[in-house]
Structure 1
Amino acid sequence: MVMFLFLVVALAVVVGAVTLAVVGGGEGRGPLPDAAPERLRDALPADRPVARVDVDALRFPLAVRGYRMEDVDDALNRLAAELAERDARIADLESALAGPRTAAPGGPEGQRDAEGRLSMDKPLPGEHP
């Protein structure tokens, strides 16, 4: 019975000492410093357009309740801006490509129908009718 009481008291002293050390009692150092929040390590590249491998490699650090909203918002804003830029570039290229197509006449080899296909009403140069 004496040994049991000794073990209980010793356990209480050890738990108390560990608790005081963790919460800042003891040597006057104060409480443990707050851990720095984990930050996004491999952000999207700033010096070139985002590629598929960049998005595949993107991993957000976990926060207390999920992901850090700031990191996710930054990545989504960057991707949205680049997608909008690419869409505008594609639209410009398509309109530039469509311009010469609509302006080009049917040419000597035939007339174009309403759908833009060539109709071969006229013989090709060098062909006999």
Structure 2
Amino acid sequence: MFWFLLISLVVVVAAVTLAVVGSGDGSQHTAGGGLGDAPPDVLDEPLPPDRPVGRADVDGLRLAVGVRGYRMRQVDDVLDRLGAELAERDARIAELESALAGAQAAAMGRADFFEQTQEGSDGR
């Protein structure tokens, strides 16, 4: 009885293994019960190279996972790119703010000049 159960267990384990691995001829068919090919773990370019990075790009960013965590080089590349784009945006914001402050100062100067001109013409 013991040998019968042992042989039955080996046959069941072998059948399950063959069903999971596939037919054994090297072809893997997902419809036939075999495992399909896994998608590649490394992304070619996680961020779009031809345009600035947007909020949706960062939200959709998925970095590849290695043996000990995320792939260091890929994370460093993404952080370098985001840092460079943020620095460019900060510089552009500072430039626009200074231009706005200059335009506001010029507008205030003209308003003061017009007020002085009107006061001078009313006093005559």
Q: TM-score, normalised by structure 2?
A: 0.56
Of the three residues 63, 84, 94, the one matched with 1:60 is 63
- Displacement of 1:41 in angstroms is 4.8
Matched, 1:47 2:50: yes
Q: Aligned partners of 2:108 and 2:63: how far apart in 1?
A: 55
Aligned to 2:103: 100
Q: Aligned partners of 2:109 and 2:87: how far apart in 1?
A: 36
- Displacement of 1:101 in angstroms is 1.2
2:46–2:61 CA contact under 8 A, matched in 1? yes
Matched, 1:75 2:88: no
Closer, same or farther: CA 45–100 of 1 in aligned 2, 3 Å: same
- Displacement of 1:40 in angstroms is 2.1
Q: Deviations over 1:28-59 (max 9, x none)?
A: xxxxxxxxx83125510010000000000000
Which structure has greater helix proportion?
2
Q: Aligned partners of 2:81 and 2:73: how far apart in 1?
A: 12
Q: Aligned partners of 1:78 and 1:38: how far apart in 2?
A: 21
Using the aligned pairs only, state the percent identity: 60
Aligned to 1:33: none
Q: Aligned partners of 2:98 and 2:112: how far apart in 1?
A: 25
Following TM superposition, the consecutive aligned residue runs of length 4 or more in structure 1 with deviations greater than 2 angstroms are: 103-107
2:47–2:53 CA contact under 8 A, matched in 1? yes
Q: Root-mean-square deviation (CA), in Å?
A: 4.1
SS in structure 1 of the partner of residue 49 of structure 2: coil
2:47–2:61 CA contact under 8 A, matched in 1? yes
Kindly tell me the number of residue pairs found equivalent between the two proteins. Answer: 104
1:42–1:58 CA contact under 8 A, matched in 2? no
CA radius of gyration, larger in: 1
